[in-house]
């Protein structure tokens, strides 16, 4: 916390203000950009997913409608008289081939007798062959039947196959009855699966194909009927969102496919159309998530880029505004420095740039003026509190405060101190004989003599009456010599007569008691007491002499 405070204290208010504006603008822009891009991205992702599900729905709807059209065509075939009359196979074959030529998706049409033997077929294929055990006859003799996609069994080697791939068909079969209701046979139609591939190709634009989009068709059990070659015939039961039977609503999800890649996947299950009841086919539209959501990433990048540019622009504007706002404060700060250097309150400029700055500058002027007046008053009071009113010397209060600061300073400078107590001998006699006024004048003169005996940096204070104390700082090796030297000066100068009014003279001498810190005591209060005791010893030994405290060994 202290490091952080120290770090920020290095910067000016303008820099902090600019940094604050830039940070707030950047954070706000980033937040708004994040929210906007997030909302837009969610909407775009939903739109992309809906487009995928819509593509799947369109594909399965086209397949359903195409199958319905084929079923209606088969129902129209039932109206052919050739199916219900004893028409020769050649005539029936010609009619069936004529119908096949009009519908490219029809690979084979055949008509069987009630025993399942093909009587007539397009191209004469399988004529005379029994298909009684094939589902197309077994189911077709009962009712209209639609068979799911399957590979050719009997027709694989008989029908033309230019691609060489396995032929697949969707079967439609229906019973044929005569007017009396007797079964005449079964009409079987094989629809080529190529029509579904054509529908698949029409669902994807070239641009979508370049981005890796695929259209697949799954059987009801999830097996791939139509799609990439590597997936044909494989079950896709690993897809989590694969629609369940009966769930025909288009939907989409982000799925992980068997190859481990993630795709935006749209689903739509066949619900049939009119005469086509549906076979449960599931159309699937998929696109790699990176390619599908590339527009989302571009939009997010654009939004964040615009946000950063906006933040930079607003930061520059904030810098200009901050400079103008801080300029008056800078001038007021400079004025405060001038006041600290001793100038008056008049140096504070009157700012008129804004009502707030004007009020602030006026208030500062008034406040500084009052503070300077109070400071002068406090200084006068401090002088009175720490000064003896008669002699002008520091008093006991000042001495106590001075020693509290002098001891640590002496310790840092590796110095010692000599404390000398001074008491005037014969002062009471002067007071009694010449009066208190003469005594006061005597004390004033003695004060001047005490000051003249001091070195620069030494202190002398009046404790009261005719008692004074000196504090001398020096190296420990010089303590004894300094104490004796100063004492001799005092004994000599104070002993000189003092001229008083009315041609009177006052004569006094002095007794001195000294002790050294820290030689005689670690605490300054102890040294003061020892010096006082030494003073009384000097008086008891005849006065007008110096006694230095001698420790008892």
Task: Give the mean pLDDT of 171-197.
Answer: 77
Q: Which of 463, 475, 471 is nearest to 524 (CA)?
A: 471
Q: Which of 430, 449, 443 is nearest to 388 (CA)?
A: 443
Task: Give the mean pLDDT of 222-235.
Answer: 74
Task: Give the mean pLDDT of 324-343.
Answer: 68
Q: Which residue has the higher pLDDT, 547 or 126?
A: 547
Q: Which residue has the higher pLDDT, 432 or 242?
A: 432
For residue range 417-429, what is the model confidence (pLDDT) as tens digits? 999 999 999 888 8
Give the least confident one: 64-73, 345-354, 496-505. 345-354
Residue 69 is predicted with a pLDDT of 74
The pTM score is 0.48
DSSP structural state of residue 383: H
Spans of all domains in the chain: 197-291, 344-385, 388-548
Q: How far from 184 is each of 93, 109, 445, CA to CA, in Å? A: 16, 16, 159
214: helix, strand or coil: strand
Q: Which of 472, 475, 473 is nearest to 461 (CA)?
A: 472
For residue range 505-521, what is the model confidence (pLDDT) as tens digits? 888 889 999 999 999 99
Supply 433's token pair. 């004989």
166: helix, strand or coil: coil
Integer Cα distance of 530 and 420 in angstroms: 10
Does pLDDT of 193 surpass 80? no
Q: Which of 4-8, 118-122, 238-242, 329-333 has the highest mean pLDDT?
A: 118-122
Does pLDDT of 151 surpass 70? no
Q: How far from 517 is each of 193, 428, 456, 480, 545, CA to CA, in Å? A: 117, 32, 19, 12, 21
Q: Which of 28, 32, 48 is nearest to 296 (CA)?
A: 48
Q: Is 466 a catalytic residue?
A: yes
Q: Which residue has the higher pLDDT, 440 or 34?
A: 440
Give the least confident one: 93-102, 422-431, 471-480, 529-538. 93-102
Residue 207 is predicted with a pLDDT of 47
For 197-291, the fitting CATH number among 3.30.310.50, 3.30.450.20, 1.10.10.10, 3.40.50.2000 is 3.30.450.20
Instruction: Please count the other Cβ atoms lying within 10 Å of the Cβ belonging to residue 253.
Output: 16
% residues pLDDT > 70 (the chain)? 74
Does pLDDT of 525 surpass 80? yes
Q: Which of 66-80, 174-188, 458-472 has the highest mean pLDDT?
A: 458-472
What average pLDDT does the chain have? Answer: 77
Q: Which of 67, 150, 65 is nearest to 105 (CA)?
A: 67
Task: Give the mean pLDDT of 167-195.
Answer: 76
Residue 160 is predicted with a pLDDT of 58
Q: Which residue has the higher pLDDT, 141 or 549?
A: 549
DSSP structural state of residue 545: S
Residue 533 is predicted with a pLDDT of 93
Residue 94 is predicted with a pLDDT of 78
Residue 188 is predicted with a pLDDT of 82
**pLDDT-based confidence at residue 340 (cuts at 50, 70, 90):** low
Residue 195 is predicted with a pLDDT of 61
Class for the domain spanning 388-548: alpha beta
Residue 1 is predicted with a pLDDT of 47
Catalytically annotated residue among 466, 485, 502, 503: 466
Can you list the positions of beta strands (E) in 346-458?
416-425
Q: Which residue has the higher pLDDT, 6 or 480?
A: 480
Q: Which residue has the higher pLDDT, 502 or 405?
A: 405
Does pLDDT of 257 surpass 70? yes
Residue 201 is predicted with a pLDDT of 63
For residue range 364-419, what is the model confidence (pLDDT) as tens digits? 767 766 776 777 777 676 666 678 888 888 888 888 889 999 999 999 999 999 99
For residue range 196-222, what is the model confidence (pLDDT) as tens digits? 666 656 655 554 555 567 778 777 777
222: helix, strand or coil: coil
Residue 409 is predicted with a pLDDT of 92
Query: How much is the CA Rg of the chain, to the nearest whole Å?
Result: 59
Residue 41 is predicted with a pLDDT of 66
Task: Give the mean pLDDT of 159-178.
Answer: 67
Residue 159 is predicted with a pLDDT of 63
480: helix, strand or coil: helix
Task: Give the mean pLDDT of 109-129.
Answer: 82
Integer Cα distance of 420 and 532 in angstroms: 8
Helix, strand, coil distribution of the chain in percent, nearest 5: 50, 20, 30
Q: Which of 63-67, 123-127, 446-450 has the highest mean pLDDT?
A: 446-450
**pLDDT-based confidence at residue 308 (cuts at 50, 70, 90):** confident
Question: Who contacts 377 (Cβ-Cβ below 8 Å, separation ≥6)?
Answer: none
């Amino acid at each position: 916390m202290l490091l952080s405070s120290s770090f920020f204290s290095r910067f000016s208010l303008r820099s902090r203000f600019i940094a604050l504006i830039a940070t707030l603008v950047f954070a706000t822009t980033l937040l708004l950009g994040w929210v906007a891009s997030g909302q837009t991205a969610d909407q775009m992702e939903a739109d992309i997913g809906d487009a995928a599900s819509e593509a799947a729905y369109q594909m399965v709807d086209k397949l359903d409608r195409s199958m319905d059209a084929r079923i209606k065509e088969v129902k129209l075939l039932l109206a052919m008289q050739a199916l219900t009359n004893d028409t020769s196979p050649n005539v029936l074959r010609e009619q069936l081939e004529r119908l096949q030529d009009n519908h490219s998706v029809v690979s084979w049409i055949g008509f069987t007798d009630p025993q399942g033997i093909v009587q007539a077929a397009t191209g004469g294929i399988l004529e005379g062959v029994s298909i009684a055990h094939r589902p197309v006859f077994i189911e077709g003799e009962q009712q209209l039947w639609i068979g799911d996609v399957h590979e050719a069994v009997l027709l694989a080697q008989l029908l033309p196959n230019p691609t060489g791939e396995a032929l697949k068909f969707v079967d439609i079969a229906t019973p044929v009855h005569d007017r009396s209701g007797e079964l005449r046979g079964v009409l079987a139609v094989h629809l080529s699966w190529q029509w579904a591939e054509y529908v698949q190709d029409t669902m994807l634009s070239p641009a979508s194909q370049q981005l890796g989009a695929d259209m697949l068709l799954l059987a009801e059990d999830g097996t791939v009927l139509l799609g990439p070659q590597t997936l044909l015939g494989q079950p896709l039961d690993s897809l989590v969102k694969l629609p369940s039977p009966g769930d025909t609503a288009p939907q989409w999800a982000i799925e992980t496919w068997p190859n481990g890649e993630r795709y935006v996947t749209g689903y739509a299950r066949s619900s049939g159309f009119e005469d086509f009841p549906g076979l449960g086919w599931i159309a699937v539209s998929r696109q790699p998530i990176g390619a599908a959501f590339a527009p989302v990433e571009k939009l997010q990048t654009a939004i964040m880029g615009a946000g950063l540019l906006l933040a930079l622009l607003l930061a520059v504007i904030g810098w200009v505004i901050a400079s103008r706002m801080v300029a008056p404060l800078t001038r007021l700060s400079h004025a405060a420095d001038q006041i600290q250097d001793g100038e008056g309150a008049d140096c504070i400029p009157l700012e008129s740039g804004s009502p707030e700055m004007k009020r602030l500058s006026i208030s500062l002027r008034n406040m500084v003026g009052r503070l300077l007046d109070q400071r002068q008053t406090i200084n006068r009071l401090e002088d009175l509190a720490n000064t003896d009113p008669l002699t002008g010397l520091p008093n006991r209060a000042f001495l106590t405060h001075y020693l509290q600061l002098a001891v640590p300073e002496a310790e840092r400078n590796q110095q010692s101190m000599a404390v000398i107590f001074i008491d005037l001998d014969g002062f009471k006699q002067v007071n009694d004989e010449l009066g208190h006024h003469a005594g006061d004048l005597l004390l004033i003169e003695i004060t001047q003599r005490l000051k003249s005996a001091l070195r620069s940096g030494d202190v002398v204070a009046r404790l009261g009456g005719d008692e004074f104390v000196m504090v001398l700082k020096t190296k420990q090796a010089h303590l004894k010599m300094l104490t004796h030297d100063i004492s001799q000066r005092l004994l000599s100068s104070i002993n000189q007569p003092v001229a008083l009014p009315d041609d009177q003279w006052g004569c006094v001498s002095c007794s001195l008691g000294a002790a050294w810190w820290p030689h005689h005591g670690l605490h300054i209060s102890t040294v003061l007491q020892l010096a006082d005791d030494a003073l009384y010893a000097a008086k008891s030994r005849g006065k007008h002499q110096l006694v230095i405290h001698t420790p008892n060994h």
